[in-house]
Chain A
Amino acid sequence: MNSETKKAARSNQEDETLIRDFLAENINAFDRLVLKYQDLVFNLCFRIVGDYDDASDCAQETFIKVHANLKNFAFRSSFTTWLYRIAINTCRTMLSSSGNRMRKKMVRIDRPGDAESGPVEINDCSSDPGDLFEKNEQSRVIHRAIDSLPDELKVLVVLRDLEGNSYEEISEITGVNLGTVKSRLARARHLLRESLREVL
C-alpha cells in the first residue's frame, strides 16, 4: 500500500503554509502543492476510473478546481480530505459522462467467440492495464474486479482498501454516513469474492 506516500502527504502544517502562501499570491506555492499531491491524486483517479489517460485528465481537472476554489477553503477539514472529495467528484463526473459509458459498453459487447458475426474489432482507446500490471498478474485481475463494481461501491473499496482511509474519513469524503459505508464495503467485498474466486 502507499501508506508511506500518504504519511508524507498528510503533513497538515505544511499544507496550511502552502495554502496561505498561495492566497498571498506566491506563485510557486500552488505548484508545490501540485507536486506534493499529484501522485496521490493520480493513483486515486486511476483506481476509480480504471484508465491511465482518463486518470490523468481527472487528476489535472482536480487541481484546476483546487486552484479555482482554494480561496474558499476554510481549514475546517484537512486539505487532503478536501482534495480527495474534489477528486472523487471529478471521477464520478467522468464515470457518468456519456462518452465514458459508451466506451465501456463497446468493450463489453466484444465477443470474439461469436461464430456468425465473426470477430468484432473494438477500438478501445484506453491504455491497456496489462502494460501497467506487467509484472503483477494478480493485481491486474484485482484491478479489473474492482473496476467492474458499481461506482458507489468502487469508490468505497478504493478509499478503504487501496488508499487506507478510515471509515470516518471515507464518510467525510463521500458524504455517506458511517453505517452505510460499512455495509456497502461488506457488500463490495462479497462481490469481489465472487469475481476473484478463481484467483484468490
Chain B
Amino acid sequence: MNCDQVKMILADYLDGTATEKEKASVAAHLKKCDNCRDELRFLKKYLKAIGKYPTFQAPDDFLKGVHRGIERRQRSGIVRTLFFPLSVKVPLEAAALVALALTGVLLFRPYRTDLLDYGPEQAPAVTEHAAAPDRKATRDIAPGRRQALPENNVAAAPEKKRATRPEPARKDAAVTVGSRPGEQIQKQETADIQAAEITLALRLKSAHEEKAATEDLVTRESEDAAADSGIIVGGTSLRSSAAPEAQRAKTSGRDEQRADTIWAIDDLARPLGGKIIQTVMDKTTGAPRSVVVELPSGNYPAFIERLGQRWNIFDRSPAAPRASATLRITMHIQD
C-alpha cells in the first residue's frame, strides 16, 4: 500500500470499520512511514475535537418562516408555472409567440398590395360582361360622382360573343405596376396574356378645344349615320356614352374634369366592348396617372376617335398596334 491508499482508509482504521486485511496493511505501512503516522495523530485529535463540535437549535420562529415561505410560493405559483425554469420555458414561450405572430401575418396578410388601394373609393369592378356593362358596379364605386348614367348603352347581343375573349387564353395575374414614388396600384385585374399593346400619352383638352372636337364629330355622324366605323359592338350612341354636354354640366372645373378621367375613359371603353383593367393614381394629388384599357382590336379606331374629343393624344408607341384579337391600351395622362 502506498501513502495515498493508506490515507484513504486511515479514518476507517481509526474507528475500526476497516477490514482485517486493510488493518494489517495500514499497520505495516505506518511502521515505516512518518508522514502517515503524523496523519494518523492528526486524525485522532481532529475526530476528538469534532466530537465536541456544538449542535445548535433552529431559530424559534423556524416553523412560522416555513409556513410563510410555503404561502409565498403558492401565491407565485402561476408565475412559476408559466416561466420557470427560465431556461426552458421562456425560449419555448417566445417561440410560440413568434409562431402565433407569423400565423396571424399569414392569415391576414397586412402587406397585400390590394390593401394599398388609393383613397376612399374602390376601383370599378370590371367584369367579363364586356358588351353588357354592369353600370350598377360603377354606381357603387362613387355614388356622388356621377349625376346621370346613360341607360341605353347596353350593347346588342350578336356582337357580344365576338368581343368576349375565350377563357383558355386568360390567366389571373396580379398586376404590380406603378412603382414610381407617389403612385399606388388601384386595382388588380385579370389580364390577357395574348393582347397586343399600345401606349398613349394624353393631355386633357381645354373647353374650347373639346367643344370644337365634339361639333366636328356630330357633323360627321349626321353625314354618314349608317356607317358603323368598324365598331364591333354596335348599338351604342356616341352622344349617350360620351355625352360632352352632360359632362360639361356636371364638371365645373378643371380639377373635377381630371378626377372624372377614369369614368370618362370607362364610358368610352365599355360601349366598345372594352374595360379598364388597371389604373394608377397619384398618391399626392389623387389624379389618375395611367389607365390601362383592354378592348377588341377592331374597336381601336373608334376608341381613339372618341378619346380625341376630350384629350390631345400627343404620343403613340408603337404608332399602330400589331394584329391581335385584343388590344391593351396604356394611357399616360399628363396635366
Contacts and interface: CB of A to CB of B under 8 A. Distances in A.
Interface of A: 1-2, 5, 31, 34-35, 38-39, 41-43, 46, 52, 56, 59-61, 63-64, 67-68, 132-133, 136, 138-139, 142-143, 160-162, 182-183, 185-186, 189-190, 192-193, 196, 200
* B interface bracket (residues with beta carbon within 8 Å of A): 20 to 34
Interface stretch (B38-46, B224-232, B241-249, B259-267): B38-46
Contacts, number: 99
Given A39-B55, A190-B39, A161 B62 contact: no
B58 A56 contact: yes
A46 B56 CA distance: 9
B46 A189 contact: yes
Contacts of B51: 1
B66 A139 contact: no
28 contacts: A1-B50, A2-B55, A34-B66, A38-B63, A39-B55, A39-B56, A39-B57, A42-B59, A56-B59, A56-B62, A56-B65, A60-B65, A60-B66, A63-B69, A64-B66, A64-B73, A67-B70, A136-B54, A142-B50, A161-B46, A185-B11, A186-B4, A189-B7, A189-B42, A190-B39, A192-B46, A193-B42, A193-B46
A18 B307 CA distance: 100
Chain A interface SS verdict (over half): helix
Contacts of B115: none
Interface of B: 4, 7-11, 39, 42-43, 45-47, 49-59, 62-63, 65-66, 69-70, 73
Nearest to A3: B51
Given A43-B55, A142-B53, A196 B11 contact: no
A43 B69 contact: no
Contact of A42 (B52, B53, B58): B58
